Amino acid sequence: MKSKRVEDVGPSGVLLVDKPIGLTSHDVVQRVRRVLNTRSVGHAGTLDPLASGLLVLLVGEGTKLSDYLLTGDKSYVFDVQLGLETTTFDMEGEVVKKTTVSANDIEKFRQKVEEFKGELDLKVPAYSAVKVNGKKLYELARAGQHTPDVVKRMIFKDVSFEEVEGQSGLIRVTLTCSKGSFVRSWAHEIGQAVGTGAAVVALRRVGSFPFEIGSTVKLADFESMKLQDGPQVLENGWIPLGRALPHWPQIRIRTDWIKRLRNGQIPFAVVPEIRDLIDRHFQSRMDIGVRMVEEDTGALVSIIQKGPKGGFQIKRVFNSSRTLTAPQVLN
């Protein structure tokens, strides 16, 4: 009989990491894999190397949640330097132009912000991972090849800003945007509208719905932990599967129904409750569903969603109930 590999019996859940500047998202994934001794780790939305902040990692059975966590809005705090244009719309590229910023330019920025809220069709940065004919734009740009203009619809909301004291033309912006939006594009375009140009000089992700930066663990702290059996789950950054979709309603099920659900069968006794939740709360929405969790442990057993032709169906089943336990910091 073939023995199970380590990754087959490893922990399952969502790990919220505060990514430091200088690492790619893949770098963080690799380092977490080493700590957990499993290859079953992915992420739900990349962060550029020059950005810091919330990186949502999916571990073990948690990778099955990718479709539900990738689509959430993202929130950022970032610094925009007026009077500066670069090839990448941030500090990674070459400087194209520098101009002096006046008090009138700052006032114009304040006025223009109102025009840059809501749905916008903006040009994607040439140095980005967006693909055209199978090639990433940054691959074309770095090879000195022509990069076609790609325009994408992006949504920006909850925009606020303030001048950074003592720094001419430096503005700190806080906003929330839709999945796949580029704050670099937002800054570049508003800079063009003001007439000074603009580039992002610092970027930090503080939210990826439904998670926030305050729930993260710093990567260095996580790497210093010795994970061992204990009475409590990891406090900082670790989200058990049963709590990974807190904005979804849940139904607690009896332990003797678990096997049936994992085999794709919905117990008749819970059908009325599922139907009521879906019909009353979700209507035509296909991106949200019901969590079926074990009544004693709260472990996630399955996800049920509205079917394409009406009714509802099991979309995912989860076979692991193992969790990470309390950390012990090594001396």
Q: What is the pTM of this model?
A: 0.87
Which of 57-71, 143-157, 200-214 has the weakest average pLDDT? 143-157
State how far the alpha carbon of 243 is from the alpha carbons of 208, 235, 292, 296, 298, in Å.
15, 13, 11, 14, 8
pLDDT value at residue 308: 75
CATH topology of domain 74-208: Pseudouridine synthase (3.30.2350)
So which residues are the catalytic ones? 48
CATH topology of domain 241-317: 2.30.130
224 contact partners, CB below 8 Å, separation of at least 6: 329, 330
Q: Do domains 74-208 and 241-317 have the same CATH topology?
A: no
What's the gap between Cα 249 and its chain centre?
A: 21
The amino acid at residue 235 is E
Q: Where are the domains of the chain?
A: 74-208, 241-317
Greater pLDDT, 168 or 127: 168
Please state the rounded mean pLDDT for residues 268-278: 86
- Burial of residue 76 (number of CB atoms within 10 Å: 0-12, 13-18, 19+): buried
Mean pLDDT of the chain: 85
Q: Is the pLDDT of residue 3 over 80?
A: no
